[in-house]
Structure 1
């Protein structure tokens, strides 16, 4: 569960969308998710580039080819012109993530992304949202799950559906209590991030 500053950052981000006319909770979560995904892709690419530089080798399997550098979070987050930022995100980065790994409809991912729509049309709103997301610390692996669970709790149905993920410290406790051995079979039918399976291993 997120508390304190992180919770207020998410609340502020949510309020920013609501104040700018995007009030459907599912739409808010979708738009934040797209931006977080774009940011995560760039974070992984930056790590690859850092490793390649350290080893004095080219980047292995780059996600962003030279002609797609404008689709990177690290590129458009620093743009002073909010109109240009909107163009880069809406017309370059978003279409890029929709077809990641193949053309529309070719893979399971692109089939699910086929009908995805980027709803942010206000340059000032996008600039504000990008700046707010940039300040959210996403290094801790639990933060992402906590963030989504908190956002989902804002949907009326979330209260009826219960929690969506098990916090890592609870997983660790359960595995320590069960003490599974190498000869036992583990079944996790609700496997999401495979937290239980990794902890058991």
Structure 2
């Protein structure tokens, strides 16, 4: 059974339930069940490895004791299953007793259920969903790593970025940023808007060959840090980290912007910061006052950018995704943030991404900024990511692929100007009043500002494909 088929089967079952309203609730419903199943699989391993292991979950609430259908006619279903989930399972897990001595791997059960809900009204349909989930064995290594495909699939099914601009970051993009920043075992690696943990799991996979001993594994587990404000992606991130053998994930359910940036000590700073902060969101005055007056902004992405300037260690490295508006923005806060960035950090590379990378969530054009804390910027290298031949833009049906970064990787360590790459001195940037939105001077005439008739036709075809895709999704929803 493929992951796509599994998710489609589950979604089709949930669509029949009167209590589940829309994609967001379907995903939230699926995620708490996935967490309990995954956690039960990890507990099987902990029980095998540790003679004295005791679960924090009461026996009747462990997945193995209520969710497995042994085909003997005794499995909970119908009203009995609904009553158990609503009156026993959820109240028990929400009210688990923990304190400062509780192991983190146990305490996370309470954390992830604090904001979880059971939306399904039909116990019969709920049993059907559980039975489909039980077809996946997360104790098997291949199945565990297939969880990446599960959460990517269900997140892609969310057609809207939401009011605060959160959206799924394509895995090829997270892998490219991580490879270029090159995190090492022993370094503190952080994502302060970690979402479902995509950057952190990419960092884990990047360091896989570096991890030689149990001590290395412990070091990585201790030094991998995430912070996520929203409950659903937080739950997904916790589940994802557990499946990557991070038994005690350092993922905080919090807002990274709530602490005064002047108060960060060395222990709260990171060697490597990799992230894609939300765009378009607005922050209240109570958040803005955590920043120096010149850097105060209502724009969420600006504040995240300012915050990481205070949380990067000496010689530390950053790879971050930002919208075009940060590059050309000339309001007071953006100018102050860019001035601080260029005077105190080395902004060595900006990779300019084409339109559609984050389709279908947003058409905003984005950039990958790479900088380190090794001294002021002297020059900025730009690299314009080329679209594959025949593409007018990326889209839902024509997404970004990993191999399309090969040309940038080949250029990265032996930099020369070419049709994709150019450099700009800090003096030129200052003359432009810190406007970093600099077009490719090496592009063929007209390539930047003009489009051929063929390109326009291809764009129209792509838009038509997206419209058809949306119509099909609506048709499935109505069915």
Regarding TM over 0.5, the answer is yes
Paired with 1:147 and 1:70, the residues of 2 have a C-alpha distance of 27
By percentage of residues, which structure has more helix? 1
* Residue 122 of structure 1, CA deviation: 1.2
Shift of 1:72: 1.2
Q: Partner of 1:42 in structure 2?
A: 40
User: Contact 1:98 / 1:113 at 8 angstroms: preserved in 2?
Assistant: yes
Aligned 8 A contact 1:26 1:155 in 2: yes
Distance 1:16 1:134 in 2: 15
Q: Shift of residue 177 of structure 1?
A: 6.0
Q: Is the 8 A contact 1:71 1:93 kept in 2?
A: yes
Distance change in 2, residues 1:121/1:19 (3 Å): closer
Q: Structure 1, unaligned stretches of length 5 or more?
A: none
Q: Are the equivalent residues in 2 in contact too, given 1:13–1:129 (CA < 8 A)?
A: yes
Q: Is the 8 A contact 1:16 1:125 kept in 2?
A: yes
Cα 1:46–1:178 shift into 2, 3 Å? closer
Partner of 2:126: 126
Q: How does 1:30-179 map to 2 (within 5 A)?
A: 30-52=28-50, 57-59=51-53, 61-64=54-57, 68-76=58-66, 77-78=68-69, 79-82=74-77, 83-100=79-96, 102=98, 113-138=113-138, 139=141, 140-158=143-161, 163-164=168-169, 166=171, 171=175
Q: Tell me the distance in 2 between the aligned counterparts of 1:119 and 1:197.
A: 34
What displacement does 1:186 show? 6.5
Distance in 2 between residues matched to 1:115 and 1:189, nearest whole Å: 20
| Structure 2 partner of 1:195 | 201
Instruction: State the partner residue of 1:26.
Output: 24
1:129 Cα offset (Å): 0.9
Determine which of 8, 11, 15 is the counterpart of 1:11.
Answer: 8
Tell me how far 1:182 sits from its aligned partner: 8.1
3-state SS, counterpart of residue 86 of structure 1: helix
Give 3-state SS (helix, strand or coil) of 1:25's partner: helix
Give per-residue Cα distances to partners, 1:11-66, cap 9 Å, x unaligned.
Answer: 010011012232411111111111111212222222222334xxxx332x4223xx
- What is the aligned residue count? 185
- Cα deviation digits, residues 125-177 of structure 1 (max 9, x gap): 11111101111354444422321221121122159865336369x73x76666
Partners of 1:19 and 1:136 lie apart in 2 by 23
Q: Conserved in 2, the CA contact under 8 Å of 1:188 and 1:197?
A: no
More strand by share: 2
Question: Residue 48 of structure 2: SS of its match in structure 1?
Answer: helix
Q: Which has the higher contact order (CA 8 A, sep 6+)?
A: 1
Residue 179 of structure 1, CA deviation: 5.6
Cα deviation for residue 86 of structure 1 reads: 2.7
Cα gap change, 1:10/1:186 in structure 2, threshold over 3 Å: closer, same or farther? closer
The CA RMSD over aligned residues, in Å, is 3.7
| TM-score, structure 1 as length reference | 0.70
Structure label with greater radius of gyration = 2
CA distance in 2, matches of 1:108, 1:62: 12
CA distance in 1, matches of 2:145, 2:192: 21
Q: Are the equivalent residues in 1 in contact too, given 2:13–2:129 (CA < 8 A)?
A: yes
SS in 2 for 1:135: coil
Contact 1:45 1:63 (8 Å CA) reproduced:
no
The answer (yes or no) to whether the contact 2:36–2:63 under 8 Å persists in 1 is yes
Partner Cα separation in structure 1 for residue 188 and residue 42 of structure 2: 34
Tell me, which stretches of 5 or more residues in structure 2 are unaligned?
A: 100-106, 211-479
